[in-house]
Amino acid sequence: MALRWGIASAGNISSDFVQALKGLPPGEHRVVAVAARALQRAQEFAGRHDVDRPYEDYRALAQDPDVQVVYVGAVNSQHFEVATLMLQHGKHVLCEKPLALNERQARRMVELARSRNLFLMEGIWSRFFPVYRRVRQLLDASAVGEPRFVSTAFGDRLEDLDRVKRKELGGGATLTLGVYMLQLQQLVFGNLQPLKVAVAGHTNEEGVDVAAAATFTYPGQKIAVLSCNASLEMPNEALIIGTTGAIRIPDFWCPTSFSLNGEVRKMPLLDNQGPFNYQNSAGLAYEAAEVRRSILAGEIESPQMTHKESIQLAGWMDLIRKELGVKFRCDFEDWDSSELN
Amino acid sequence: MALRWGIASAGNISSDFVQALKGLPPGEHRVVAVAARALQRAQEFAGRHDVDRPYEDYRALAQDPDVQVVYVGAVNSQHFEVATLMLQHGKHVLCEKPLALNERQARRMVELARSRNLFLMEGIWSRFFPVYRRVRQLLDASAVGEPRFVSTAFGDRLEDLDRVKRKELGGGATLTLGVYMLQLQQLVFGNLQPLKVAVAGHTNEEGVDVAAAATFTYPGQKIAVLSCNASLEMPNEALIIGTTGAIRIPDFWCPTSFSLNGEVRKMPLLDNQGPFNYQNSAGLAYEAAEVRRSILAGEIESPQMTHKESIQLAGWMDLIRKELGVKFRCDFEDWDSSELN
C-alpha cells in the first residue's frame, strides 16, 4: 500500500525529494498534496510532479485527512513551526536537517511526536545510503580496529544564499553543513559523550557563521575534527582512522563509494535520472524507504537516526554557535512561551 | 670551500643528515667531528661516516677550532643546552626542530646567536624542499586566489618511542609532529596574527600529548585546522584552499609532489640512495645547502626560516601544551636562572 505524502514547501529540496520517490517501486509512495506560502508555487510544483492538491497554507496541508506523513522541506527557521503543526494534526513527519534551530526546539518536537505516537525523523539522508550501511557494518566488525579519529571537511560557496547568510532563516555553515559532519562522528563514536569541544570560526555581518571548525575529544584517545565552510569549495571527504586501518568516504554526505585501507568500493545510486537540483538527490529515496518501513512497522523513530541522536546534534550545534556568538531569536525565548508564530 | 660540520649526537637523524650531505657536490660540505654522550657511539658513527674526530663530550666538539657549524640532532630536551653551548663557543648552529622546548628558550637562543653574530636556524627541513619553494611561488602569484584554509593531519605510530612518550625528553605529538603543521600554516598566512587558537587533545600517563588538534582563526575568514597523532597512521597530506583553487601536498613534511587544482606535479629528490633511517631523508641536503649559502653570505638567519618564525612556532606550541596541560620543567624555571645543567 502506498504511503501518502504531503510536502511542506515547494522549494528545490522538496522537488528533489518528490523526484527521488519516483525511483522507488510503484505503489509504495504517493504524493497527495503540497503546500507553499504562495499558491502559485504550490500549483506549479503540483503540476510538475503530478500532485493532486496544492495548498497555499501549511495548515490546510495539516488538515488534509488523506496525508499520512509530511516531508518538511522549508527553510531551517520554519522546521520547528511546520513540523509541530503537522504533528499536532496527527501526521508523521520527516523533517529536513537540522531538525530544529536549537536543542530546546528539538526536544519539544520529539516530546510532541512521542506523546502522539507519531513517527518523527530528522532527514539525515546520508545515514541511509548503502555506503553508510556498509561502513556501519565494517565499524561493527572492527574492520579498522578501534576507530579513534574522524575528520570531515565540508565546504561550498554558499555564503551569498539567503538561507545560508541570513540569521532569521536559521542560516550558518554549522546548521547547513556542520550537521552532516556531526552526524558522522556520532555514528562512528556511538554513545560516547565528548570530554571537550573546542570551537573556532568566523561570522558574517549578520552574525551568522560562515566558517566553523570544531574538535571533539572522547575517552580512549578518540578525536573528531570537523571543518565546515560556506565560502570555499572543500574536498568534502570524510576520514575514519582506527587502530588497524582507515576508511575514506568521498562526498561523505551523499556518498557513492568509499575506500577501506585504500581499496575503493563503488556503491552506485538507484537509477533515477531526475531532474534534480542537488548532487546525488536520487539518494533521498533511501531515507524515504526507511520512513515507510518504520511507519508500516508502527515505529515512531528509526534506529538508523534516532530522536536521541537528533537532540544530541542540536545540542552540539547550540554549543558551536554559542562559542562563535551566533544566537537565534528562539535561543532567548522561554520554554513555556509559544514558539509558534 | 667546504663548510666544516660538527655533529652533536650520533642518533638516527644525525646519521641521515650526514648521509644526505653526501648527495651534495663534493667539496661543499665536510663533516670533521661528531660527539655523543658515549664515546663508543661517536666512534661507531665516525667509522661509518668517515669522520675524523669522534668525541664523547659535546664540550669537546664545541671547543674544536676546526668546526664551523654544528648540526644538533639530539633529543628535544637537549636542543637548548647543546645549541647554546655551541653558540657560546662561536659555532654556527643548525638545530633540529623544535628549536627549543618553549618560547623562552627559543628567544634566548636567538638572542645569543644575534649577540655573537652567528648563524642559527631551526631545522624545518620541509621549507627547503623544491615543492615548498614552488608552493611559495604559487601562493605569491595568487595561483589559488587568496588562501583561506589550511588543513594538515600528521600521524604515525610513535607513542611507544621514548623520545615521543617521555616528558623529560621533551616528548609529545605537538613537538614531534605538530611543529611541521604549524610551520605550514605560518608559511601560508605569513605575518598575520591569529585571532584565536582552539585546542583539544589527549595526554599519556606521563602527561605528554599523544594527540593534539588545533584550529587557528585569522582575520579575513582564514582558518587553519591541524591534527597530529602519535598513536595512529594518518594520511599526512596538507591542503591549502584559496578563493579560486586548491593545493594538495602529500607527505607534506618531506614532499616530492603536489597538486594544483587536481593537476599533479612531481618534484623528485636528489639522487641519494642512503642508507637512511627515515622517509625522504635525502632531502635534508636542501636545508644543509641553505645553511652553507647563508653562512657564506654572512647571514645569521635564513629568509626561508627566520628567527621570528621559530619564536612564533615555539610560542604556539607553548599555547597548545598549556591548553592540554603538558608542562615541561623548563616552563617553571625563571628566565634568569641557568637553564643549563
The pLDDT, as a whole number, for residue B340 is: 43
At residue A130, the pLDDT reads: 98
Percent of chain B clearing pLDDT 90 (strictly above): 96
Residues 135-164 of A with CB under 8 A from B: 148-149, 151, 153, 155
- Beta strands in A166-236, from DSSP E residues, in sequence order: 196-203, 209-218, 222-229
User: Which listed residue (A97, A167, A196, A308) is catalytic?
Assistant: A97
Mean pLDDT confidence for A278-291? 98
Q: Quick one: which of A179, A264, A176 has its CA closest to A226?
A: A179
Q: Taking each helix axis from N to C terminus, what angle separates A307-324 and A103-116, rounded to the nearest 10 degrees? A: 160
Domain B3-124 grouped into CATH 3.30.930.10: no
Say if the Cβ atoms of B148 and A215 lie within 8 Å: no
Q: Is the per-residue pLDDT at B113 higher than 50?
A: yes
Q: Shortest Cα distance from A161 to chain B (angstroms)? A: 17
The model's confidence at residue B191, banded by pLDDT at 50, 70 and 90, is: confident
Q: pLDDT of A116-170, one tens digit each?
A: 999 999 999 999 999 999 999 999 999 999 999 999 999 999 999 999 999 999 9
How would residue B333 be classed by pLDDT, with cut points 50, 70 and 90?
confident
Contact by Cβ (8 Å): B57, B91: no
* pTM confidence score: 0.94
**Is A91 an annotated catalytic residue?**
no
Q: H or E element: which one contains A50?
A: none
pLDDT by residue (tens digit) across B247-274? 999 999 999 999 999 999 999 999 999 9
* CA distances for A88 relative to A55, A71, A340, angstroms: 18, 15, 12
Over the stretch A19-49, which tens digit does the pLDDT of each residue have?
Answer: 999 999 999 999 999 999 999 999 999 999 9
Q: How far is B147 from chain A (nearest CA, A)?
A: 10
The CATH code of the domain at B130-266 is 3.30.360.10
User: Any idea which residue has 629568509 for its cell?
Assistant: B303
Contact of B202 with chain A, judged by CB distance below 8 Å, is answered with yes
pLDDT for the residue B339: 46
- Confidence tier at B334 by pLDDT (50, 70, 90): low
Which of B149, B216, B234 comes nearest A229 by C-beta? B149
Identify the band that residue A185 occupies on the pLDDT scale cut at 50, 70 and 90: very high
pLDDT-based confidence at A315, cuts 50/70/90? very high
Tell if the CB–CB gap between A151 and B153 is shorter than 8 Å. Answer: yes
Nearest to A53 by CA among A81, A24, A30: A30
A241 Cβ under 8 Å from any chain B Cβ: yes
Report the alpha-carbon distance of residue A247 to residue B171 in Å, rounded. Answer: 29
Give residue for cell 632531502. Answer: B283
Task: Provide mean pLDDT across the span A215-235.
Answer: 97
- Tens digit of each residue's pLDDT (9 = 90 or more) over A239-254: 999 999 999 999 999 9
B229 to chain A, any CB pair closer than 8 A? The answer is: yes
Per-residue pLDDT tens digits for B201-235? 999 999 999 999 999 999 999 999 999 999 999 99
Q: Are B94 and B30 in contact (CB under 8 A)?
A: no
Kindly list the distances between the CA atom of residue B224 and the CA atoms of A49, A83, B150, B214, B269, in Å, as whole numbers in the listed order: 45, 38, 5, 8, 28
C-alpha distance from A46 to closest chain B C-alpha (Å) = 39
- From chain B, the residues in CB contact with A201 under 8 A are 217, 223
Looking at residue A339, its pLDDT comes to: 46
Which entry of B97, B165, B167, B327 is annotated as an active-site residue? B97
CB neighbour class for A199 (10 Å; exposed up to 12, middle 13-18, buried from 19): buried
pLDDT at position A337, please? 47
User: pLDDT for B16-65, tens place per residue?
Assistant: 999 999 999 999 999 999 999 999 999 999 999 999 999 999 999 999 99
Domain ranges of chain B: 3-124, 130-266
Of A206-210, A331-335, B116-120, the one with minimum mean pLDDT is A331-335
Query: How high does pLDDT run on average in chain A?
Result: 95
- Put simply, whether B107 touches A (Cβ < 8 Å) is no
Give B236's contacts in chain A (Cβ within 8 Å).
none
